[in-house]
Amino acid sequence: MRKAVLIIHGFVGCLGDNEYLMNYLTFDRKFDVFSRTLPGHYDDETYQKVEYTEWIKFADLLVSDLISHGYKKIYVIGHSMGGVLAGYLASKYKEIKKVVFINAAYNYLNLKQNKIDILKNRDYKDYIEVFDRVLHTSIPFFLEFVKLIKEYHDNLEKVSCDALVLQSELDQVVPIENGLEIINKLNSKNKYLTYLQKERHMVFGGSLKDIERKEILSEYVRLFLIGGLKWKKIWKEKI
C-alpha cells in the first residue's frame, strides 16, 4: 500500500523551499508526495486578509482529502512554521504515522546566532533570502504567525507518532535550543533529534548549490520514513 507524504512550507515561504526533498521522495515508489501553497502566500494575494486559523483549516483540508482518497498511512514533513502545522496535524489524525520537523518555528528570532554572524562578518546572502521575504509582508500578517505559534506552542505533548526533529546548527531564524525543546515535549515512543551541521534555516531549496549535501539529507529523511532496523542503525545525533 502506497503512503502519502505531505510537505508543508514555512511562513512567507513557498513550494520551492523544499523542492529538492519533494522531488527526491517522489522517486521512491512507496510514496505519493503532496505539497500545496498555504493561504496568503500567492503573489496575487494580500497578506492582511489572511488569519492564522485559515492555515489550520487548510492543513486540515489537505489531510482530510488524503484520507478520503484512501490513504491510511500519512507522513507529514513541516519546515519552519510548517513544522508547527505538522505538529498540529500529527496530534489530531490517527492516520498520520510519522512526522518530520525541519527547523520548526516553535521558537524564533535567533539573536545569539545573529550576533555571532555579525561579529564574523559572514556572507549575508542567506539572511537576505529569509528576511527579504519578511520585510515584504505586512505587520498584521506577521502577527498572525505570532498567534499561530502562541496557540500551538505546547501542542507537541499531544503528538505520539514516530518523529524526527532536524535542527540546523547555524539556523539564523530558529535558536538551536529549539530542537531539544521539541524532542523533550513530544510524547512519541520513537523520537529522534539530529543536528544538521553547518546548515542554515533553508535546507532543501531547489537550488543546485550544495546538491550533494541535499541528497545526503534527503536520503536521511527517506530512510526515517521507511523505518525499520536500518533506520535505527543509521540515525545520528549530527549529520
Structure confidence at residue 115 (pLDDT): 45
Structure confidence at residue 156 (pLDDT): 97
Tell me the per-residue pLDDT of 179-205, one tens digit each, with 9 for 90 and over. 999 999 999 999 999 999 999 899 998
Alpha carbons 35 and 98: distance in angstroms, whole number: 16
In a domain? residue 46 = yes
pLDDT category of residue 139 using cuts at 50, 70 and 90: confident
What is the count of structural domains for the chain?
A: 1
Whether the CB-CB separation of 76 and 61 falls below 8 Å is answered with no
In a domain? residue 174 = yes
pTM: 0.90
Please state the rounded mean pLDDT for residues 155-162: 97
Tell me the per-residue pLDDT of 47-79, one tens digit each, with 9 for 90 and over. 667 899 999 999 999 999 999 999 999 999 999
CATH number at residue 150: 3.40.50.1820
| Helix pair 81-92, 52-68: axis angle to 10 deg | 50
In a domain? residue 185 = yes
In a domain? residue 239 = no
In a domain? residue 112 = yes
Reply yes or no on whether the pLDDT at 227 is more than 90.
yes
Query: For residue 159, which of 181, 183, 187, 178 has the smallest C-alpha distance?
Result: 187
Least confident among 4-8, 130-134, 152-156: 130-134
In a domain? residue 150 = yes
pLDDT category of residue 172 using cuts at 50, 70 and 90: confident
3-state secondary structure 149-198: HHHHCCHHHHCCCEEEEEEECCCCCCCCHHHHHHHHHCCCCCEEEEEECC
In a domain? residue 37 = yes
Q: Domain range holding 146?
A: 3-234
